[in-house]
Amino acid sequence: SIKRTGAGFQSIIDCIYSPTMIFLAALFLGDPITSHQVIGATFIILSILLSSRGFSSQENQSSGIIFGVLAQISVVIGILIITDLFSKVSILHLTTLRLLFGQFFLVLIMRPKKEHLKTLFWPVERKEFKYVFLSALFGSFLATYFWLLGFKYSVVGNAAIYNQTSSLFIFILAWIFLKEQFTLKKGFSLIMALLGAIAVSL
């Protein structure tokens, strides 16, 4: 999704995470759905539609949004099905198991093509390895560890809105470091999405 849409647009799509968490928690855990959550979800959907107007490639836009939404649904389901384990298993162990099993399924997916399997274990040049290592440390291990801690010590709705602040950081950092174009439309879309994310947790 991020490859097709860019980090800035992806940060807006990711705002669907909070309403998805709320609604699936209602479905699987029996949590009630409030009018605030419906209003918030509407804001987020409108923000995605607004930000996608005038996208350079209609095909990339559509597939990027679909992949982004599917990613958030997968993330939410992945956390909801292990909520009962938080009081029984240490977060460090859960983090390790999630990453190990994720790698296992990745190997299965790449198995049919030997050249892909080789790149799984050494995908980049040696001089670029430090970036991959730091990305894995901060973006995978530590991010997952702190993410799970948030759900252990908070309720689902509150944890979801705390996680949603990442959209703001992604948007700003993509503008600073990746030199992605900042437009009023993108900024307004992000504000709408964040307001929607806040609304679903009220």
Residue-wise DSSP of 45-112: HHHHHHHHTT-S-HHHHHHHHHHHHHHHHHHHHHHHTTGGGTTTS-HHHHHHHHHHHHHHHHHHHHTT
Q: How many domains does the chain have?
A: 1
Cα–Cα nearest to 13, from 122, 135, 170? 170
The per-residue pLDDT for 201 is 63
CA 180 from centroid of its chain's CA atoms? 19
> Rounded CA gap, 111 and 147, in Å?
30
The per-residue pLDDT for 115 is 60
Cα–Cα nearest to 198, from 10, 13, 18? 18
The per-residue pLDDT for 195 is 82
The per-residue pLDDT for 92 is 93
* Tens-binned pLDDT, residue by residue, of the chain (202 aa): 677 777 667 777 777 887 788 788 888 877 777 787 778 778 877 776 676 665 555 556 677 888 888 888 888 888 888 888 988 999 999 999 988 888 888 777 766 566 655 565 555 566 777 777 887 888 889 988 998 998 888 777 667 777 776 776 777 777 788 777 777 877 787 788 778 777 766 6
Burial-class residue 114 by CB neighbours within 10 Å (0-12, 13-18, 19+).
exposed
Domain that holds residue 146: 2-200
The per-residue pLDDT for 71 is 87
| Residue 137: HSE in the Cβ half-sphere, 13 Å Cα cutoff | 6
Cα–Cα nearest to 196, from 154, 167, 169? 167
| Per-residue burial over 18-34, b = 16 or more CB atoms within 10 Å of its CB, e = otherwise | bbbbbbbbeeeeebeeb
Return the number of other C-beta atoms located less than 10 Å from residue 166's C-beta: 15
